[in-house]
Amino acid sequence: MKASIITIGDEILIGQIVDTNSAYIAKSLDKIGIATHEMVSISDEKDHILQTLYGLQNKVDVVIITGGLGPTKDDITKKTFCDYFDDVLVENDAVLVHVKDMIERIFNRPLTQLNKDQALVPSKCKVLFNAVGTAPGMLMEQDKTVFISLPGVPYEMKYLMENEVIPYLVNKFKRPFIVHQTIMTYGRGESLLAEQIESWETNLPTFIKLAYLPSPGRVRLRLTARGNDELKLKEAIQKEIEKLDDLIGDCIVGYDETESIEVVVGKKLKEFGQSIATAESCTGGKIAQQLTSVAGASAYFKGAIVAYETKMKEQLLQVNHKTITDFSVVSAEVASEMAVNCKELMQSDFAIATTGNAGPLQGDSKAKIGTVFIAIATPSKVFVEEFDFGQPREKVIDRAVSKALEMLYKEISKN
């Protein structure tokens, strides 16, 4: 079972927006045992779209196209999709009623002609009803390939994948099983890790594949097993993980592929009934934002104080003026006071504090650009680490956020 994903839109090819739809679609397909063979992004040009579709006919089982279904002139996917199947566009009553209802409710005005045109669909297609937007999804089968066209707006695409596309594919195809297991490690480089597990890697069964996914400060290992017996695949993977644990157990922090560090931290805090707050300077609220991106975060996240301006560290977080003048605003001492005072103010069990210079300018401290102090206050103590996260600004902020959450995770895990 193979799929291809096509994204249509000039905005992607000039780099104005990043395509996040393909990753979502690939992940959804992967879960039901359909492997994505290739992802392609092409322009809003009829010939380019047609040529890409011809190239995939009977080569893959499923083609999913996103984008180009809007009401404006530059959106040509629907017309081209229709041409490809030698079909004609007809008005779909159910879609028209829905579009009318949405436009009247949201914009409080009558339909324009362009709105009405959204109800046109190829006469032979199966309409995928888009309850959250005005552009319907469309599905056509031709020979051995199913072609599906979805709107490019991410939440509309997600709605249709979940409610229409996946149920349809599950019903239509007999699929193999794909089992993934990610092992999250941190604090050890990719090369060293690879050498430590080399003989284990060489002896993996042929139906299990290993991949390394390094990012600053951590490496995820991903095992993928393919076959027809799901239970057998899972058992085989479990066996390999046990062997791996003997080899590098000291740097493994978790196992769930879908779990980011903020989700893992949240689970641990929930499990122990503990809470967290943050006092942020150079990370500008990003640690709080990541913690609160998790549904249900209100069970353990108290709040954050982003004391960006130096003065605010004194006023909002009650850092001693003398500490700042003696040690500078980017120092272990300031980070430590920020964490302790934040924990106090928020009545939380843990607190994270960051102070540093993300660049590109020098700012209120003499600290080198890239220097960040991260402090963790726990129920019984506070500790600080100093880092040099280099440049540029974006990387300094991201590494500081990721490192802070890892330090917290390690600490909570000692419970």
Residues 378-397 that bind a second copy (CB under 8 A): 390, 392-395, 397
Please select the residue that binds a second copy; options are 47, 58, 93, 109, rule is CB under 8 A: 109
Among 27, 46, 100, 124, binds a second copy (CB under 8 A): 27
Per CB under 8 A, the segment of 35-43, 90-98, 318-326, 366-374 that binds a second copy is: 35-43
CB environment 365-398: b (16+ within 10 A), e (fewer): bebebbbbbbbbbbeeebebeebebeeebeebbb
Binding to a second copy (CB under 8 A): which residues in 318-357?
A: 345-346
| Residue among 61 and 140 whose Cβ is closer to a second copy | 61
* 37 binds a second copy per the rule CB under 8 A: yes
Residue 15 engages a second copy in binding (rule: CB under 8 A): yes
Binding track over 266-305 against a second copy, x by CB under 8 A: ------------x-x--xxxxxxx-xxx-xxxx--xxxxx
Q: Which residues contact 82 (CB under 8 A, 6 or more apart)?
A: 88, 89, 122
Nearer to a second copy, 141 or 257 (CB): 257
Among 26, 32, 50, 166, binds a second copy (CB under 8 A): 26
Instruction: Please give the residues from 136 up to 165 whose contact with a second copy meets the rule CB under 8 A.
Output: 153, 155
For a second copy, which stretch binds (CB under 8 A), given 43-51, 225-233, 265-273, 372-380?
43-51
Q: How many CB atoms lie within 10 A of CB 146?
A: 20
Task: Single out the residue of 1, 11, 247, 368 in contact with a second copy (rule: CB under 8 A).
Answer: 11
Q: Does 307 bind a second copy (CB under 8 A)?
A: yes
Residue 119 has φ and ψ, to the nearest 5°, of -85, 0
Q: Is 46 in the site for a second copy (CB under 8 A)?
A: no
Q: Who contacts 348 (Cβ-Cβ below 8 Å, separation ≥6)?
A: 275, 276, 277, 302, 342
Interacting residues with a second copy between 168 and 227 (CB under 8 A): 180, 182, 189-192, 194-195, 201, 209-215, 222, 224
Tell me which residues in 351-370 interact with a second copy (CB under 8 A).
Answer: 359-361, 363-364
Return the amino acid letter for 413.
S
**Structure tokens, 298:** 């209100």
| Residue 308 engages a second copy in binding (rule: CB under 8 A) | yes
Helices (DSSP H) in 58-197: which residue ranges? 77-84, 93-107, 113-117, 154-160, 166-172, 190-196
CA distance linking residue 283 with residue 396, whole number of Å: 9
Phi and psi of 390, rounded to 5°?
70, -135
- Smallest Cα–Cα separation from 353: which of 376, 372, 332? 376
